[in-house]
Amino acid sequence: MGGSLIDIKKRIASTKKTSQITSAMQMVAASKLTKSEQSSRRFQEYAHKVRTITTHLASSQLQAIENADFSSFEDNMEMYHKLLIARPVKKTGYIIITSDKGLAGGYNSSVIKNTIEVLQKDHEDQNEVVIMSIGGTGADFFKHRNIPVSYELRGLSDHPSYNEVRKIVNSAIQMYNNEVFDELYVCYNHHVNTLSSAFRAEKMLPIEDLDSKEATSYEQDYILEPSEDAILNTLLPLYAESLIYGAVLDSKTAEHAARMTAMKSATENASNIIDDLTITFNRARQAAITNEITEIVGGAAALED
């Protein structure tokens, strides 16, 4: 019994230490989440401005594309910006955003599981897809299953700047322009609130979600220099970059929320384990004391006889 009591005390002590660690990690994740939410909101304001200007300037091309006859596709596509025109899809590119580290609950498994479902549903052959990965978990998952990863980015900071993701963003746009793939999706967990996130597979290229109503209601007149086409050549890639970078920020926010929730759950579980072990320890100690008292009483009774 003595050995059992010592073992229980050791388990209580070790669980308390674990609880202290997870509690500290929870507070760190909560701090990162607050900062990440603020960064995401500020970027959305910038992205909205870029979207507004892009919509206004691209409205004429968008209307022309809607009315165009693409029976001779190769001849007609040169009239419009490549990022706006939808071409026949032979290959699809996917940027998959996961974390480099674990201890984030179901964050990574949710992204990977839902992405696999998308790939199996939309493609019969893995040669129809081009995989790019942000985060080591996703890259390692696909590599271990012999699925080529054409570009991977690891080691993002907790609050990534655009310069950190510039290479993969620019590479994705360049690959699209070079027709390595004909459409691009970003697969990630969208931050809903502190307790939940939702998987998204958002189509980023070609750019199709510009709202013509926003263009017609926007009354600002521009003096364009050098020309509308030249400005669009710069502005459209910038808009596409903002879409992808916005998804990265959103995903990072969801990661911090998932890690905070996971550490909170771990701390609560540790507390419950400590309570159960304490009850077990007290019962074992009480049984030991009762047993000792019984032995003493029995011994005294034997001496009296």
**pLDDT band per the 50, 70, 90 thresholds, residue 53:** confident
The CATH number given to 2-21+264-299 is 1.10.287.80
Number of Cβ atoms within 10 Å of the Cβ of 78: 8
Where are the domains positioned within the chain? 2-21+264-299, 27-213+221-259
pLDDT of residue 218: 47
According to the model, what pLDDT value does residue 141 have?
94
Per-residue pLDDT for 73 more than 50? no
Task: Give the closest residue to 162 by CA, choosing from 236, 233, 249.
Answer: 249
CATH class of 27-213+221-259: alpha beta
CA distances from 228 to 5, 64, 234 (A): 80, 15, 10
pLDDT band of residue 215 (cuts 50, 70, 90) is very low
Q: Which of 198, 203, 174 is nearest to 186 (CA)?
A: 203
pLDDT, one tens digit per residue, over 143-154 is 998 889 999 999
Q: Which residue has the higher pLDDT, 298 or 139?
A: 139
Worst-scoring range by mean pLDDT, 14-23, 88-97, 193-202, 293-302?
293-302
Q: Tens digits of per-residue pLDDT, 108-141?
A: 999 999 999 999 999 888 889 999 999 999 999 9
pLDDT, mean over the chain: 83
User: What does the angle CA 162 – CA 163 – CA 164 come to, to the nearest 5 degrees?
Assistant: 90
C-alpha 35 chain-centroid distance? 16
Q: What is the pLDDT of residue 294?
A: 81
pLDDT of 79: 47
Contact between 245 and 50 under an 8 Å Cβ cutoff? The reply is no
What's the mean pLDDT in 255-271?
93
Nearest-angstrom CA–CA distance, 167 and 175: 12
